[in-house]
Each structure stands twice: as C-alpha cells, then as structure tokens.
Amino acid sequence: MSDFAIRQAVFTTSAGLGSAYPATAPSGVEIAMVGKSNVGKSSLINSLCNNYKLARTSASPGKTRLINFFLINQDFYLVDLPGYGFAKAPKGERENWGKLMEDYLSAGRLTHIFMLLDIRHEPTQEDRQMFQYIVYYNIPFTLIATKADKLSRSKRVQAANAAAKLLGAPPAAIPYSAENAQGRDEVLARMGAIRDDHVALRTTIQPQEILEEIQ
C-alpha cells in the first residue's frame, strides 16, 4: 500500500453561481466528486478524511447544493459537487445545477474526477451523459462503486466492474463503503498517485526544455 495519508482536511469555502473559487491549491491538484444525487459523494469525502462532520450528508437526495472545497494536507483540493438526477428538483434548480457544473468544469482547475456509481444499480442515462462528457474533455478519472456494504462480499468486485462496463468505461471500479471503510486504502493510494503524478508532470517540463523543443 502507498504511504499517502490524509493528515489534515479543512473546509475552505463554498461556491455558488457567480461566486469566486478559492485560489488553486499549492500543488495545483484538484480532485472532484461527481455522481448522481444520493450516491455518496459527501460521505466518501468524510470517510476518506475520517471526519464525519466535514461534508454535509443526508438520506434524502439533493443535500449538496454548492461547490464545496476541502484542502487536504495544505496541498491539494478535494471538491464536493452537487449531484445530478434529482428528479423532484424544480426545473429552475436543475438549470442552476447545469450552469454551476459548466462553470466549474470549464474553469480549467480540475485535474481528476472521481466518478461515483451505486454498486447496486445500473448506471442511469445521466451517468452515461456525465461519463461521455468526461471522455470528450479528456479528463482523467477513477470510477468508484459506492455502498459496497449493501452487497455480499463475494459479489462486490464483480458488481463494481459490471457497473463500470455498463457505463461504457473499462470494466474497473473500486468498491467502496463509507459505512465500514472498505476500499479506503485503495482510494487513498490512488489519491497519492494522482497527487505525485501531477507534480512529476509539472516539474519535469521546464520552460527551457520547451523552448529548446520549439527551436
């Protein structure tokens, strides 16, 4: 297992439509949680950070309405986004969701997406649209199948991978449970790798080398 650990997680700010985002984190790394409402995005952040008061969660969908930034190890951001597919939401609110997401996704600060799927359910049409967006814009992603505790141990890996396949992705998703922290080590290791890789990319290309290449 990797030696990456979350030593500190601090809520920084919430951003709504038209409000400013915080300055990018020192490492430039920003990992955002996307997925349908109620899939467990806020719970995943809490479980990873071992702090159940960090992000607000709720049994009823539509809890997270703003973009919430959490600074990890004073180094990179985890970002909690509002979920989609909340059928009961009024039309105006769904339009707001679209604008909020479009603004954020086009801001160019996001470096990786954790896309969450409920391990028990087939991906929805909206999940597939979201995934197509991710692929179209070439955003690096990791698939996480949430609520793994709802299935028997023997079925989890297969169900997680099947959900990924139905999405149209390579058939690999990390089964995760915010109830019993199954998958936590794997997601933390992934986070450490994302963090390091990004730094490597940023530090190996020096402006001088770019200039030499152009000449």
Which of Mg ion, ligand GTP, none binds 179 (CB below 5-8 Å, type-dependent)?
ligand GTP
Which residues of this chain interact with Mg ion, rule CB under 5 A? 41-42, 63-64
Binding mask 69-108 for ligand GTP (x = CB under 6 A): -------------xx-------------------------
Closest CA to 34 of 125, 112, 106, 136: 112
Query: Are residues 202 and 28 in contact, defined by beta-carbon separation less than 8 angstroms?
Result: yes
**Cα separation, 110 vs 112, whole angstroms:** 6
**Cα separation, 74 vs 82, whole angstroms:** 24
Which of Mg ion, ligand GTP, none binds 111 (CB below 5-8 Å, type-dependent)?
none
**Amino acid, single-letter form, for residue 143:** L
Residue 68 contacts ligand GTP per CB under 6 A: no
- Could you say which of 9, 15, 34, 39 contacts ligand GTP (CB under 6 A)? 39
Residue 58 contacts ligand GTP per CB under 6 A: yes
Residue 36 or 198 having the CB closest to ligand GTP: 36
φ/ψ of 124, rounded to 5, equals: -85, 170
CB of 121 to ligand GTP, least distance (A): 13
**Amino acid, single-letter form, for residue 74:** Q
- Could you say which of 31, 54, 57, 114 contacts ligand GTP (CB under 6 A)? 57
Residue 27 or 177 having the CB closest to ligand GTP: 177
Residues contacting residue 9 through CB under 8 Å, at least 6 positions apart: 49, 51, 54, 70, 71, 72, 78
Residue 38 contacts ligand GTP per CB under 6 A: yes
CB of 43 to ligand GTP, least distance (A): 3
**Cα separation, 52 vs 44, whole angstroms:** 10
Q: Where are the alpha helices (DSSP H) in 33-139?
A: 41-49, 91-105, 125-136
CB of 178 to ligand GTP, least distance (A): 4
Closest CA to 60 of 91, 88, 34, 81: 88
Q: Within 133-192, which residues bind ligand GTP (CB under 6 A)?
A: 146-147, 149-150, 177-179
The residues of the shown chain that bind ligand GTP, judged by CB under 6 A, are 35, 37-43, 57-59, 61-64, 82-83, 146-147, 149-150, 177-179
